[in-house]
Structure 1
Amino acid sequence: MIRGRPGLVAAILVAAALLLPLTAVAWRAEAWTGLAPRDWGALRFTLWQAAVSAALSVLAAIPVARALARRRFPARGAVILLLGAPFILPVIVAVLGLVAVFGRSGVVNAALAAVGVDPVSIYGAHGVILAHVFFNMPLATRLILQGWLAIPGERLRLAASLGFSARDTFRRLELPMLRSILPGVFLVIFLICTTSFAVALALGGGPGATTVELAIYRAFRFDFDLGRAALLGAVQLFVGGVAALLSLRLALPSGFGAGLDRAVPRWDSAGLGLRVQDGAAIVAACLFLLVPMILVLAEGAFHLGALTRSVWAAALRSLVVALVAAGLTTALALAMAYTATTWRRGGVVEIIGTLSIAASPLVLGTGLYILLLPVVNPVRLAIPVTILVNVLLALPFALRTLIPAMRVLHDDWHRLSASLGMHGLTWLRLVALPRLARPAGFAAGLTAALAAGDLGVIALFASPDQATLPLALYQLMGSYRMEEAKAAALVLVILSLGLFWAFERGGRHAAPA
């Protein structure tokens, strides 16, 4: 079998790709004496909007997760699947959908105008927070739902036998569970919101709605102040690192014992009022997620013919970025997962692979620009740099998918493979890949979807003839060519979700029956 060297080499390459740009940022930041008042304002807004967005996302998710945990209905699986869609959905497309609902000529303002009420604006701090809740409320719901489903069925059965009401069940069983997981859920979403770029770029940007990520972009792209961009990048990295560490340490134990994982009917929630309450929470969540997407995609279908050749060329570049990023990420993750599973110090490899979860794409992009500038014009390498950053950002998710499957594979097949003398590529082809096809397909599909919809580093590097589809879509929105923007959004959604579906389906079909 492979002795772990490919995984170790992959871990060293990943560590270098992370540490060298971050070191370059830290070194370049020494040329700056301090943060300007507007930079402190960006830091304050970043922390404030991240805290408010995380709090609102968690508060909105609790009733939805509770309703899904205690109700069984025919479309329940589809609703839970829908809650995972915003994670794959390109950010800029969702922003366009929210503009279609809450924008100047959107549904909400049209309804307000009909009753004589002044229109509202989606741009500014409230728009950034609304978009963050749109993306992160489903994630919070999925995480909290796992906590609800982890409550041992025996506890619920005992509560029913003791005559607990819904309020008693919540106070005695559900509240301790929430106390255990909500700090971690809050901080994970807080971390995501601190590194959000496309939302702030499209909906924020004013003096009172500039995040650190957006300030890095402006310092780099418009002022070409590398020292200020590097210092802001160091601040962003510090904020993200602290949030990542806290998210691992602040969860409190709930005190539950082990259960038998039985599905138990919820006798405490059989009343009509509670059924209406749960139904309203589920319907409201579905409408909040579906209406913006339906409005954009339905209208975009009528304007596909208006798309120019440059937009289709941008779509092709996004396809290339997605395919290459998916291939590289999956290859790295497979090698590192094997080493993490079989090597005595494999935990080091796993830690290295997850480090990038705390890194900002723009910080990495700024560091790579600083490193490349003395050697070559970084603009020429916009696409390769975009691919590299997407590989680093997707690697933690791929490892979380592949490492558990690799451990099962090793436990089940290691001795037999060794006794048959299967090593190297023969073992990889006959034993590993068929049994890892399903998780590898999922990891590749997720990476491809995220890379296709990414609007991050490409915004720093790209010249007009190098734009990917998300950047082209943003440029159409900035030019108020909204019909073409909605058509481009439809193409981007088809591209992202189509790639995810193709890779995931391919992995399922390649797996042994």
Structure 2
Amino acid sequence: MTLSAGAFCLVGILLFVALAAGALATFDQPGVATTLSFDAYIWRVTRFTLLQAILSTGLSVLFAIPVALALGRQARFPGRVWVVRLMALPLGLPALVAALGLIGIWGRQGVLNGGLSWLGLEQPVSIYGLSGILLAHVFFNMPLAVRLMLTGLERIPGEYWLVGANLGMRPWSTFRFIEWPVIRGLLPGIASLVFMLCATSFTLVLTLGGGPAASTIEVAIYQALRFDFDPPRAIALSLLQIAITGLLLLALRWLAPPSADGPTSGRKARRFDGRRGLGWIGDFAVIGLAAVFTMLPLGAVVVSGLMADLSGLVRDPMVHRGLATSLAIAVCSAVLCVAGTAAMIRARQMALAPRRPHAVARGLAASVSASTSLVLLVPPVVLGSGWFLLLRPFGDVSRFAPVLVILINVLMALPFVYRVLKPAMETHWQRTARLSASLGLGGWNRWRAIDWPGLRKPILMAMSFAAALSLGDLGAVALFGSQDMVTLPWLLYGRMGSYRSTDAAGLALFLGLVCLALTIFGTAAQTRERGNEDSDGRS
């Protein structure tokens, strides 16, 4: 049953992407061959796409490693859970809102340049161009990398820390033998995810690029479809993007070491390092720097939002509709994404369970791993355009908007959810498979007694990721939205387009608060668990 459900989800994903790509490929197909020649513009766009994606990935991952290690060592301090929740907020914010927050801090009229002017320095710091794109990508992707690394570090068995403490391991030895093997196993997946997010970045590049010199392949695809309506050129650019990101994904997959998890007693992890001295000071300095870097743009959004007519927005019926629609889409997308991803991961585990899996099983497992990155290879704007062309003969495309927006959001969240659930489910299965078999547990009884208690934290975290990402989506809604389907990001975009910046700031604040509520939901299990541990310790 589980194997069939996973295969069904896999076929559905492949079919959804294939139909969209086929609709674009068959539209005026003879013109595609003429656009496959690499002119100077395509070479320039390709070079800049690779340059900014490589730099953004390197900076995000290098910044995230010490932050994740510090949060892992300092497992108990007042406000830690809020720092972890803060790391999920940028993911759920619309890129346009976050860009405005960054401009409020780093822009020409921002806080930084205001401080430099007060000091008598007249040369302003410019956020536009490559530097602004890198800053925005680090703001978005560093917290994401921290959350994924921290999830892996929290899965380290408690016996490892106990043995390390008994052996008197120094900080460098603890990092080398316990922490680094886990991070090294996560790095290829995290780096490939961040790279493809940066390579397919659209709104940030369009807002902070500063001109044609800072255009990426994604922006070129959008211009070819929206302004020139040149599907052949868009298809050629999409194929180029798929080739670049696909080659990187294959290379990083070969670099990923095999999992070394084994059966343990499942005791709670209790760390004994980083409690005093310079290491303690350094950890809190790194955590504070990351928190300030993330909070400043969010603070700018809050300050500008509080200056809006919040009472008028609360009474606005359009805001009520937008909030209700956004929440409905977010909940449906999150539930479908988490359920489908879990089914595919479990089907992959069952296919590879035999000592010598046959070719069909190996093909199914490889297809599951590859399908989770399809939306990073085929951008949402391409998916939406393909389905727009496919459904146009059936009349008004807006009739299909809710279903299409939910499905596109499911695919957008799939890479995040897969990278949260896959290592957690594989580790959980390795630790509990023999116990379940010996007790004869299966189906609902196994889920209730063993799986849900062990997987509650990653499932809630993955669901909050998916819901926040869907809540902040503008791309899919921009293609299919109408007066009958209004979401908070679409309403925000419309208010900004009509120069109602005060209302837009208030809506941005509402959107941020809803995303914060989702992150609280995602870490609720962790908070309760820590509270129970503290109670047990006091007793």
Normalising by structure 2, report the TM-score: 0.75
1:232 maps to 237
Q: Tell me how far 1:135 sits from its aligned partner.
A: 1.2
Aligned residue-pair number:
495
Deviations 1:23-54 (A, max 9, x none): 44445565231255434332222111111111
Q: Aligned pair in 2 of structure 1 residues 6, 361: CA closer, same or farther (>3 Å)? A: same
SS class of match (1:122): coil
Q: Aligned pair in 2 of structure 1 residues 460, 235: CA closer, same or farther (>3 Å)? A: farther
Deviations 1:377-420 (A, max 9, x none): 445534332211111222344455666289588876679788xx
Distance 1:198 1:361 in 2: 12
* Aligned: 1:31 with 2:40: no
Bigger drift between 93-102 and 147-156 goes to 147-156
Bigger drift between 59-68 and 246-255 goes to 246-255
Residues 337, 466 of structure 2: 8 Å contact kept: yes
Distance 1:58 1:4 in 2: 35
2:7 maps to 8
Residues 356, 393 of structure 1: 8 Å contact kept: no
Identify which of 371, 375, 382 aligns with 1:363. Answer: 382
Residues 314, 472 of structure 1: 8 Å contact kept: yes
Identify which of 236, 244, 247 aligns with 2:252. Answer: 247
SS class of match (1:265): coil
Q: Tell me how far 1:8 sits from its aligned partner.
A: 2.9
Identify which of 114, 117, 134 aligns with 2:139. Answer: 134
Q: Tell me how far 1:431 sits from its aligned partner.
A: 6.4
Deviations 1:199-245 (A, max 9, x none): 22332362122222122222212222222222222222222222322
1:45 maps to 48
Residues 93, 472 of structure 2: 8 Å contact kept: yes
Q: Tell me how far 1:340 sits from its aligned partner.
A: 4.1
Identify which of 472, 478, 493 aligns with 1:453. Answer: 472
Bigger drift between 174-183 and 107-116 goes to 174-183
Q: Tell me how far 1:466 sits from its aligned partner.
A: 4.2
Q: Tell me how far 1:184 sits from its aligned partner.
A: 5.5
Identify which of 471, 476, 493 aligns with 2:512. Answer: 493
Residues 81, 523 of structure 2: 8 Å contact kept: no
AA paired with 1:22?
A
2:291 maps to 286
SS class of match (2:125): coil
Identify which of 402, 414, 422 aligns with 1:383. Answer: 402
Q: Aligned pair in 2 of structure 1 residues 414, 20: CA closer, same or farther (>3 Å)? A: farther
AA paired with 2:376?
A
Bigger drift between 140-149 and 278-287 goes to 140-149
SS class of match (2:31): coil
Structure 2 unaligned residues grouped into runs of 5+ = 353-360, 533-539
1:270 maps to 277
Distance 1:341 1:357 in 2: 23
Normalising by structure 1, report the TM-score: 0.79
2:64 maps to 61
Distance 1:83 1:41 in 2: 34
Q: Aligned pair in 2 of structure 1 residues 243, 283: CA closer, same or farther (>3 Å)? A: same
Residues 109, 120 of structure 1: 8 Å contact kept: yes
Bigger drift between 388-397 and 45-54 goes to 388-397
Q: Tell me how far 1:194 sits from its aligned partner.
A: 0.8
Deviations 1:251-283 (A, max 9, x none): 47999999997734359x834xx5554433222
Structure 1 unaligned residues grouped into runs of 5+ = none
* Aligned: 1:305 with 2:311: yes
1:82 maps to 86
Deviations 1:53-82 (A, max 9, x none): 112223333443454455566134543443
Q: Aligned pair in 2 of structure 1 residues 342, 324: CA closer, same or farther (>3 Å)? A: same
Distance 1:417 1:179 in 2: 36
Residues 197, 376 of structure 2: 8 Å contact kept: no
Q: Tell me how far 1:491 sits from its aligned partner.
A: 1.6
Q: Aligned pair in 2 of structure 1 residues 503, 283: CA closer, same or farther (>3 Å)? A: closer
Residues 91, 199 of structure 1: 8 Å contact kept: yes
Residues 92, 471 of structure 2: 8 Å contact kept: no
AA paired with 1:197?
F
Bigger drift between 471-480 and 443-452 goes to 471-480
Q: Aligned pair in 2 of structure 1 residues 399, 109: CA closer, same or farther (>3 Å)? A: closer
Distance 1:170 1:441 in 2: 28
Q: Aligned pair in 2 of structure 1 residues 30, 203: CA closer, same or farther (>3 Å)? A: farther
Distance 2:117 2:226 in 1: 39
Residues 230, 366 of structure 1: 8 Å contact kept: no
Bigger drift between 497-506 and 440-449 goes to 497-506
Distance 1:104 1:78 in 2: 31
Residues 102, 109 of structure 1: 8 Å contact kept: yes
SS class of match (1:31): helix
AA paired with 2:323?
A
Deviations 1:335-367 (A, max 9, x none): 545544556736367336524353322222232
Distance 2:419 2:199 in 1: 22
Residues 326, 391 of structure 1: 8 Å contact kept: yes
